[in-house]
Amino acid sequence: MNNPELILLKITICLILLFGIYYFLLRKETTFRFIRFFLLFSILASVAFPFIPLQISWSPPPLLSEQLSRIEPDAVKKFITPEKDINNSSEINIEPINTDADTKKTPWLLYAYILGFTLLTTRFLINISKLSTRIQKNKKLNNNGITCINIKSGRNIHSFFRFIFLPDEHFDNPKNSIIEHEKIHVNQLHSIDILIIELIQIIFWFHPLIYLYRNAIILNHEFLADEGVLKAQVGKIEYQQSLLDYCIAKNELQFTSGFNFTHIKKRIAMMTKTRKKQNSIIKPLVSLSFAILLFVGLSLKEKASNAMYAEFNTPVFIEEPVTIDYEPSELIVQEKQDPVLQDKKAEFKKLMVKRDSVLKTAQLKMQKAQKLAQLKQTEIMVKLEKQLQKEQFKAQKMLSKKQKEAQIKLKELQLKMKDQKINEEMEFKMQQMERDLNVELEGMENELSMHLEMMEDSLSDVLQDIEIDVSVNMEKIEIELEREIENLNEAIEEMEMELEEERK
């Protein structure tokens, strides 16, 4: 297989289908170890799939073999052997066919790929050198087989293999839940996964699905680390609060395990999710079965179609110039071709091209639907955040205004009390006014909290509606794609049956 476009198309199809299995079946599950294996298997198998040979024996029917071998060596020899006198013959030079012009690609695509590959490789090497410099030059502390490296204050805590990089405020006392989180990254060797996805990202830097896989793998690493910390009997609310405190620090190197603000919401939601032991094995088994059936089905279908296509399309090229002496009246070329068979072959090729175009359009539709859903989600999030900020600003203004009024009233009462004698009635009035003010403040705080809760509920409802719309659109696209592929497969099977009938 030497066609890069076909290889890229197969890799893309496998990546889309396997990521769809993860997105619709495994994304909200708590089987994090299986999800880690599934994501790594998906991306490695998709990249390696077009290069794995699968031996399948296929031989054409006897009638087709006989038709393909009609050109005999004697006939060819008779065609190119001169039988007339050289003086009475004409001379024809048959030049070799230049196939390079047909297969020549536009060079700027190759240059763009090399440029992106070079930039990402350079960034990768720079990050490696930065890590090695930090490890060699900074202060070290051994903690139960894990090396803690002291870095500048204000940076994020992160890890790489057996090294944990700690800022000044945590280096002397590495015993809180955040450092336990990083130790789980180290013990479970999450850096290997990140290095694998980084190397694949360097090769396929132009492919958007690689970045989706990378985000999914990193998010699953965080789920695994959170699960380990909570199993160590750390308080859930305390741990969530510490996550919010540490996620604001400066972002770190590309392939280290650290804290990401965009993942905090999902991680906190996953911590609060209850595990369902009854159905914890069903979805992973179904996902793995789908993945295996996908690879086996595509391999069988590809090899069978390639074998048939090779029998119909065996090219013959003349690599050296040939000089033929002949009499024009004596040279007769008879080509034995079956027009019906040629028409069937042309229709078969058209169906194969149509199938490829349907797959490409389906991929584009899915990408477009995902982009539209992301745009809608970001727009709604921005609007709701602006509304929340306005409401909070108004509530703070009202509270500050009421507090100022209460302070003014208290000052006035104090001034009056200086001029008059303190009696029981004045004390009672002051106590009553303080109670009224406290009641008003409590009521306003309750109203503000209820308003904020309503805004959060509406935000969650809108996000759920967006997810439902996206899933419905994706299911529609998948159904249309399956229908198109089934129709094409039926047409191909009918063509094959007609070809067999024609051969018989």
| Residue of 139, 247, 255 lying closest to 197 (CA atoms) | 255
pLDDT, average across residues 337-365: 75
Top pLDDT among 332 and 433 is at 433
User: How many H-runs (helices) and E-runs (strands) does the chain carry?
Assistant: 15, 6
Residue 249: band (very low, low, confident or very high) from pLDDT cuts 50, 70, 90: low
Q: Which of 62-66, 243-247, 462-466 has the lowest mean pLDDT?
A: 62-66
Pairing of strands 163-166, 146-150: parallel
Count of beta carbons in the 10 Å neighbourhood of residue 223:
19
Is pLDDT above 60 for 130?
Answer: yes
Top pLDDT among 394 and 87 is at 394
Residue 448: band (very low, low, confident or very high) from pLDDT cuts 50, 70, 90: confident
pLDDT, average across residues 16-45: 92
Q: What is the dihedral of CA 59, 63, 65, 69, to 10 degrees?
A: 180
Which residues, 6 or more positions from 31, have their beta carbon under 8 angstroms from its beta carbon?
280, 281, 283, 284
Predicted pLDDT at 85 = 44
Top pLDDT among 215 and 328 is at 215
Long-range CB contact pairs, 466-470, < 8 A, 24+? 466/373, 466/376, 466/377, 466/380, 469/373, 470/369, 470/370, 470/373
Conformational region of residue 387, where left means phi above 0, alpha means psi within -120 to 50, and beta covers everything else? alpha
Is pLDDT above 80 for 466?
Answer: yes
Top pLDDT among 80 and 377 is at 377
Top pLDDT among 434 and 41 is at 41
Q: Which of 85-94, 252-261, 427-436 has the lowest mean pLDDT?
A: 85-94
Predicted pLDDT at 51 = 81
Q: At what angle do helices 282-312 and 4-21 cross, to 10 degrees?
A: 160
Distance, CA of 451 to CA of 296 (rounded, Å): 55
Per-residue pLDDT tens over the stretch 33-80: 999 999 999 999 999 888 876 554 445 555 444 444 544 444 444 444
Q: What is the dihedral of CA 21, 25, 31, 36, to 10 degrees?
A: 20
Distance, CA of 308 to CA of 302 (rounded, Å): 10
pLDDT, average across residues 209-229: 93
Distance, CA of 85 to CA of 102 (rounded, Å): 39
Residue 259: band (very low, low, confident or very high) from pLDDT cuts 50, 70, 90: low
Distance, CA of 410 to CA of 429 (rounded, Å): 11
Per-residue pLDDT tens over the stretch 190-204: 999 999 999 999 999
Is pLDDT above 60 for 226?
Answer: yes
Predicted pLDDT at 189 = 93
Distance, CA of 342 to CA of 85 (rounded, Å): 39
Distance, CA of 20 to CA of 40 (rounded, Å): 14
Q: What is the pTM of this model?
A: 0.52
Top pLDDT among 319 and 195 is at 195
Is pLDDT above 60 for 341?
Answer: yes
Is pLDDT above 90 for 490?
Answer: no
Q: Which of 18-27, 167-176, 472-481 has the lowest mean pLDDT?
A: 167-176
How many residues are recorded in the chain? 504
| Residue of 136, 151, 143 lying closest to 174 (CA atoms) | 143
Distance, CA of 209 to CA of 470 (rounded, Å): 17
The rounded mean pLDDT for the chain is 75
Is pLDDT above 90 for 91?
Answer: no
Top pLDDT among 255 and 137 is at 137
Residue 334: band (very low, low, confident or very high) from pLDDT cuts 50, 70, 90: very low
Distance, CA of 360 to CA of 171 (rounded, Å): 53
Top pLDDT among 460 and 252 is at 460
Top pLDDT among 457 and 105 is at 457
Is pLDDT above 80 for 403?
Answer: no
Predicted pLDDT at 203 = 95
Distance, CA of 164 to CA of 258 (rounded, Å): 10
- Of all residues in the chain, the percent with pLDDT exceeding 90 is 19
Which CA distances in Å does 212 have to 16, 177, 201, 218, 469?
10, 29, 11, 10, 20
Token pair recorded at residue 397: 């203004």
Distance, CA of 1 to CA of 415 (rounded, Å): 95
Is pLDDT above 90 for 318?
Answer: no
Residue 280: band (very low, low, confident or very high) from pLDDT cuts 50, 70, 90: low
Predicted pLDDT at 253 = 61
Angle at CA of residue 106, ends 53 and 314, nearest 5°: 45
Residue type, 103: T
Residue 133: band (very low, low, confident or very high) from pLDDT cuts 50, 70, 90: very high
Residue 87: band (very low, low, confident or very high) from pLDDT cuts 50, 70, 90: very low
Distance, CA of 470 to CA of 64 (rounded, Å): 49
Query: What is residue 97's DSSP assignment?
Result: P
Token pair recorded at residue 214: 């990378």
Q: What is the residue extent of each domain of the chain?
A: 1-53+108-300, 358-503
Pairing of strands 90-94, 158-160: unpaired
Residue found under tokens 């039926």: 490
Predicted pLDDT at 208 = 94
Token pair recorded at residue 172: 């002397």
Residue found under tokens 């296929």: 58
